[in-house]
Structure 1
Amino acid sequence: MQEQPGLQGISPIQQVYVDAVKAPLDMIEVAYERLRDRLARQVEDERAKAETLSDAWTIIDNAYRLNTLLRQFPGLKQRDEIVRSAIDVFKVAEPFRHAEFST
């Protein structure tokens, strides 16, 4: 595994976590862009509905994955304001994963 610029001095396990965090972020970005474009066009055929649901689920699932990775990231200070903020943002995915909707 090649070290990323700006990441010198981190342990090999931390590098694995950096890579593990990057993948869901990339997937969220792709899914969000497709979802935004599809909703802007207001396409309503069955395939588009399935793609819309798939992209929405990709965002939810990867937000949950990021929340989990940030909590387990070795050496990451969980009380750091930026880390807490990121964990709180990604925590919003949890109710959607379990269909815990309140009215």
Structure 2
Amino acid sequence: MSTEWKLFADLAERAGDKRVTVEASAGDTVGDALEQLVDDRSDLAGRVLTDDGDLRSQINVLRNGSNVVVEEDGLETELEGDDELALFPPVSGG
């Protein structure tokens, strides 16, 4: 089974596309899917992850519209069938 990431703003530019499909299925975690996303995309990895491989605090990861860091179990959140994943950079403006 595959899972699709939606990428926004400069994250889409760094990945080369606004939508990227990875091989992740129910029972895998959001972190597993993120690892596959950044695996061959070092420019994206540097923007999303710290040098230690942790998610940068300003990056928002959503699963079905919910921020996994705030509302779920972070990158340990388990995927279910047909989940929609999204990555957002920091939002600023006024």
TM-score strictly above 0.5:
no
Relative to the length of structure 1, the TM-score reads: 0.26
Answer 1 or 2: which has greater strand percent.
2
Relative to the length of structure 2, the TM-score reads: 0.27
